[in-house]
Structure 1
Amino acid sequence: MQCDEQQPICGLCKRVKKKCSFAVSESRELVTTPKDNFVLPSNASPTIHQMDLSFRCRNDSRTPTPIDCMPQSNVGLPPSLSAPHTQPLPLADLELLYHQMRFYEVTGQDSSDIQVGFAFPYVLHSILSLSALLLFSEQPSRIELLDRACAHQNSALTLVRPHLVDLNKQNVNAVVKFSAITSVIALAQPLYQHPYRISRTSDPISDMLNSFHMTRGIRSVLERQWEMDGIHRDLDAGPELDDDDPWQQDLITKYPPYPILRNLITSHCTFEADKLVCLDATRKVFSFITLLEDHPNLHPDARLVQIWPIEIKKHFLNMLIARRPIALLVLGYYSVLMRLRSDTMWPFDTWSARLLQRIEEVLGDEWAEYLDWPRSRVLS
């Protein structure tokens, strides 16, 4: 019998001690058959090192950019030189990817970020980092998830830097997504410190301001995107509303604490600039609260909560950095906004209570009565 596809090794070839041609072809096929790794176009397989993320922000007077407020880790991971479609995705990362897709499905969020991540790997790395933190919040015995979160975010930072320096129409949308996800990671990461390492003492207000700086980094990216598209917008736009304005009247009627807080700002602020930025921040936080209450299914991701730190005036942010009591009081009302989106954005549930309790500690009994409403919405 001669050798063919059905009989790759035949008796004749054995007798003359000759390798069958089909046997050689089969062996070659076996060599190239995938065995242990499942391949996806992702570049999502960082080497895990024992590292911690620390978040750096420059508290200067200019508008921060994403590269000013980037998480920094102790180990730099260079991007792989292999083509994306030939890079293996470990099963551990497949678990994270599946878990994040399920989370998007359950919470009703758009999963298109994952598709963007296949074209821009730093987006996928950030998604997997956030997924690792989410999975650890559900399975705290799996300490290795913290290492994976750090490793993925470190890889994301390495890969995104060239695009931060050279923003263009092809990558700006991916950089915006990366910045938005990273600002959520900035809130999630302090909640889960590695138990085998000595961690710094965490201050919820400082951590929140750090997240604000990173979120405001989105602002510079958006402004660059609008510039490229020839669109003129002002993120600080919005008239100063008087009490006769219908929108203002609606807020005053719907939320009794709102006019009380406005009056307190007017009487407490000595400088006109302080008063104006505090009134603006207060109006915006109550506007976003009513938007989420009236339209709970609108944008189930973090964007409506992230808009507030993007739109507040820089002077108000400086008042928060200086721990001015009236500004911290307004920040206490922001915790209500976070609470309203805690059903779909898991770090917000813990952070709304954590932030409000810290503000109460700093302000003390003198301001306690003015925090009754946020306390009833967040802590009850």
Structure 2
Amino acid sequence: MTGRLKLVALLVALALVAGGGLVALWSQRDEERPVTILGPWTDTQETQFEEVLRGLGVPFDYQGTAAQREVLLSQVQSGEPPDIAIMPGVGELAEYADQGRLEPLNGLYDETQYGAPWSSGRTSEHVYWVPVKADLKSIVWYRKGNEPTGGPAPLESWCIGMGDDGASGWPGSDWIEDLVLQRSGPRAYSAWALGREKWTDKPVLSAWEAWGKLLKQNERAAERAVLTDHRGHPDRNGLLFAGWEDGCTLEHQGSFATAFYGAQEAGLTDSAGLLPGGPYEVRAHEVTGDFAALFSDRPRARELIGRLASRDGQRAWAAHANVFSANNAVPAKAGEVGTAIAKRLTGEDGKPRCLDASDVMAPAVRDAFYEATLLTAARTAERSDLDIPDLLRDLQRVQDAQPPTRAGLKRVCG
């Protein structure tokens, strides 16, 4: 045997003898790695979130991006998903759960602190996601001193921006969703969101037609809505105070607009009385959340998500400005605006809460929904004919092509 072969044989023998030790060593190194987290928060909120994470006492590596859907898909397809992903909706998470990619969260936090509809991620056996940030929709912001008196507002009064970095059109979907909810109620809304009611049925058709009539009031305002970013342009500091030449005074927007409008600048009210075709009674409040899910069964990752969802973790996160929690053990924020949002988010006002319908839908349906709202506004701006029933038939065909989801998504309102 040559010297080289003797050396190889010796190394192989050593590897076989020490194999168990090597496996244990690499396993230990794996557990010592920081927990990788993919989330939607960048800039100031990224700094705030990382401060909260440091307080949880678990080493982490956070990646914030406005394109988390695309980034997560790329990481999953490459076989290197993050330990924890935080997504603005549960439709995609349900697909990952159906593919067997998510780890159950059972026993990691007190589930009684999250009632319906936030507990939508529970199947008969497991829970797969938990909201770590919540926001209220079904509200309208107004300039202080210009409080709406009630009754449908004309298009010129509305500040509307349909643009977004990676999901343009979702502000239009919020209009449609709110109209379905306030006109037809939570039961019809839930059936539609879960694909049990057709897009072409009356609740959605009549809501879409009401929104189309609003846009037709002013083609120029409809065009501006298509071309404007929902955060304002060019400074992205909201739409109410952007100095628009027509002086819009109302914005149909979620509670995350507190990042733009402080309590001294703007107030909020329920949207039902101001929507086209109304006024309607407040049937329910639409809510949305950022939901955390486990793609890894590493003990450190399980520990971190449990601490983040706990009462103390949520209190620390909600202590920051513009952050609201779905955890019912977290005290409401102080101030007129914060209190008003918290009462509606927690159901303290006695009204049901319903998850954002497009967030619940399968990604392909959600994206088609966004595109359809953009198309409606663009065609209106061009004074082109738009067959709304035909548009909704196209959306129904996308819906019909989706496989049924099995993981959660049994309840949208509660």
Higher relative contact order by CA 8 Å / sep ≥ 6: 1 or 2?
A: 2
More helix by share: 1
**TM-score, normalisation: structure 1:** 0.26
Higher Rg:
1
More strand by share: 2
**TM-score, normalisation: structure 2:** 0.25
